[in-house]
Amino acid sequence: MIDQAIIDKAAKHFGRLVKEQAERIERVKQEGDWVDFARVRPVSIGTLGGDGIGPFITAEAQRVLEDLLKSEVRGGKVQFKVIEGLTIENRAAKMKSIPDDVLTEIKTCHVTLKAPTHTPEKGDPWPNLESANVSMRKALDLFANVRPVRVRALGIDWTFYRENTEDVYALGSEGLQATSELAFDFRVISAPGSERLIDAAFAHAKKTGKTRVTVVTKANILKTTDGLFLDIARKVAERYPGISWDGWYVDIITAKLLDPARRSEFQVFALPNMWGDIITDEAAEIQGGVGTAGSANIGKRYAMFEAIHGSAPRMVKEGRAKFADPGSMLKASAMLLAHIGYGDLGVKLDKALEICNQYEKKVKITGRDTGATTKEFGDYVLATVRDSRLDSRWQEYVAKDSAVAKR
């Protein structure tokens, strides 16, 4: 039998979490309106190098962005700031997933471009710090994780809206080891948190001419938490009469994304945090791997854009960092451009990445000296963006893919 003292300790632990989350929900309910960064000038872009290959691919993405925005930088409309200190060494030394001085610097920027950061796991040599990503999402209230995936030849054009500040990630470092044989982690889903995320997904569908939103849960098993998420989806859907919606369980949607007969039917997804993390990695693999996919973390006041893959410390250890693929960071950079009001440049960069990654592949990244360096790939992308035939080249490939998808 478990000693009563252990039960009392667990009750106190859980009570604290309930109180903290209730206070957070009240803050969510009082948040203001969206900031339109297309109207903010100058707009400040912070870059965070992170760990492993992070500094290499972030520097390349910044180089590309500075090239595309050079007239805006000269005109004082855009400014870049390199923010140091988000390395695992500094975070461990200060026992903070985001050191206070680093967070202060981040908050001086309107948007940030963030490299992968190492998240300690049980058994590795680093202290048990919370994920820097999770901490940043919570500190800046970046509640919507937006990940587009497009493979035209397969008829795939998906946009995922993953809730970013709740679920098991919100309390991932607050688990309870009741005894040596019994451990608990906690999951939190709130009505206000779910509503703003699901509404953002429906709003995106309406803005982009989509007609369907798919809500992913495991509400048949997780009846309380995922059940609430699904209930909120029903409520939000009533505001968007021109958009249909359906609910899918996470296990079957995982299979159906691989089903050639069904996957082209999906358009926009809304998912709780955990399911969104898993499903979007699967979707990225269909597109060509996590190196081809970028991610936006959007809040009403701040935004952060990042690669969706890890920091690959082995590449640094083996001296291969200069061969790291910057594709995911460049994809995130295209999303960043659109968010700060340079949508035309974002579209050009997006088209160039499709040409370079999916179609021509004239410069190939292998992660080794058998392929291109990070800079060589960046040069290839920039040259493609600058090509006066960019649109016609892209349209030729799209036409071929559309024909294939219809067969």
Dihedral, 11, 12, 15, 19 alpha carbons, nearest 10 = 180
Rounded distance between C-alpha atoms, residue 263 and residue 400, angstroms: 19
- The residues near 308 (Cβ < 8 Å, ≥ 6 apart) are 147, 280, 281, 284, 290, 293, 294, 295, 328
Per run of 10 residues, the mean pLDDT along the chain (length 407 residues) is 89 95 93 88 96 96 98 97 96 96 97 95 85 91 94 91 93 88 95 97 96 97 97 98 97 96 96 96 88 89 92 95 95 96 96 92 94 97 96 91 69
pLDDT at site 405: 64
pLDDT at site 38: 85
pLDDT at site 312: 93
pLDDT at site 407: 63
DSSP string, 96-120: -SS-HHHHHHHTTSSEEEE------
In the block, tokens 């957070």 appear at 24
CA–CA distance from 121 to each of 131, 173, 379 (Å)?
10, 10, 36
Closest by alpha carbon to 213, among 158, 292, 281?
A: 158
pLDDT at site 44: 97
pLDDT at site 94: 96
Q: Where are the alpha helices (DSSP H) in 117-190?
A: 132-139, 167-170
Rounded distance between C-alpha atoms, residue 280 and residue 305, angstroms: 15
Q: What pTM was computed for the model?
A: 0.89
Q: Which domains does the chain have, with CATH numbers?
A: 31-142+299-407 (3.40.718.10), 146-286 (3.40.718.10)
Give, for 57, the enclosing helix (H) or strand (E): helix 54-68
Rounded distance between C-alpha atoms, residue 275 and residue 162, angstroms: 8
